[in-house]
Chain A
Amino acid sequence: MTTYDATTVWALVAAVGVLTFLVRFSFVGLLGRFGDVPPWAERALGFVPVAVFAALVVPAVVTVQPTVTGTLTDDRTVAAAAAAVVAWRTENVLATIAVGMAALWTLRFVLPAVV
């Protein structure tokens, strides 16, 4: 577990900022000094977003528990499943957030009060 003091946070902001700028500036800045992106790299980059987003989302909403039922009925997992359906049907990030948060609040605050 690392904790971030103010200096480390600023160093992190600078590191991510500089690297991101270099990626953005790469071809625009060094125009003509090297060729196009090779096709294999372009194919690999095409899979990076889905792979990173899946690796970020799923562990954040699924915690493996001793029983399958326990794993699947976690309130975050259920809310995320509802949000995934909305993301699939609407392809709209705003609607996805709205339904996911509403589902989480229903499971956390409304359902315990009713049942």
Chain B
Amino acid sequence: MDRTAFGSGVRDALPVIVGIVPFGLVAGVAAVDAGFSLPQAVGLSVFVFAGAAQLATLSLVERGAPFVAVVATALAINLRMGLYSATIAPHFRKYETRWRALLSYLLIDEAFALALTAYRERDVDPRWYYLGAAGALWATWQVTTVLGVLLGTGVPDAWGLEFAVPLVFLGLLVPAIRSAPHLLAAVAAAAVAVYGAGWPFNLGLLVGTAVGVLTGLLAGAVRR
């Protein structure tokens, strides 16, 4: 074990942890709202370990969406990790399969961003740096999920804590709108989703997403 690299990963993760804490709390609260028990909430955080997909899963379960629609939405949200996987793969090339499986499991937006920055700027052991950074984020995520479940059980419904879920998505959405095509994609997706809010199988969400992506691609093609 490379303690220096591990420690440097943990240190770099600290500011990010501040941002993850409320997100994890919300995930715990949302799990309670969706009717998940504490073990089920922790199970979701351990097996999936992806905040946005977990929150989407929980809010769809709460609304009574069909199984397949929930899985499809979570998968759509996590497809971006395929890009991270492709980008980070060369750094993990030299490790055995079981190590690469563990490193892949820990792949989230923040760990990806920290690791790539470090690999670009410094000469650091890729595996242990990544385990330090991603491991610290993982531990934070599990602890805050449990705290969120306990919090969600204790707070009255009138406070509307479940409103924090769309707020998290809003906080992720707005900074992700980096160009006119992105804005058009978001507007088109939202319009279809609102119009189709009553459609069966949560098709409003899935069709809205597809229409949004197509709109973005078209707008991007026109601009180029």
Residue ranges of B at the interface with A (Cβ–Cβ < 8 Å):
18-19, 22-23, 26, 34-37, 40, 43-44, 47-50, 52-53, 56-57, 59, 61, 64-67, 70-71, 73-86, 88-89, 92-93, 97, 100-101, 103-105, 107, 158-161, 163-177, 181-182, 185-190, 192-194, 197, 204-205, 208-213, 216-217, 220
Contacts and interface: CB of A to CB of B under 8 A. Distances in A.
B77 to A, nearest CB: 5
Given A12-B61, A54-B186, A105-B160, 16 more contacts: A1-B64, A12-B67, A19-B71, A28-B100, A42-B83, A46-B216, A51-B185, A51-B209, A51-B210, A55-B189, A55-B190, A55-B192, A56-B166, A59-B197, A94-B18, A101-B163
B47 A55 contact: no
14 contacts: A12-B61, A13-B47, A16-B47, A27-B85, A51-B212, A53-B172, A54-B208, A55-B189, A61-B170, A80-B170, A88-B174, A96-B170, A100-B164, A101-B167
B75 A4 contact: no
Nearest to A21: B105
Contacts of A63: 197
Contacts of A36: 86
A52 B209 contact: yes
A108 B212 CA distance: 33
Interface residues of A, number: 70
Contact of A44 (B70, B89, B97, B217): B217
Nearest to B25: A97
Most chain B beta-carbon contacts within 10 A, residue among A2, A13, A16, A95 = A16
Nearest to A29: B100
Contacts of B176: 49-50, 53
A40 B67 CA distance: 30
Nearest to B23: A93
The 3 closest A-B pairs by CB, nearest first: A51-B212, A17-B47, A47-B216
A114 interface: no
A93 B22 contact: yes
Contact of A37 (B23, B73, B83): B83
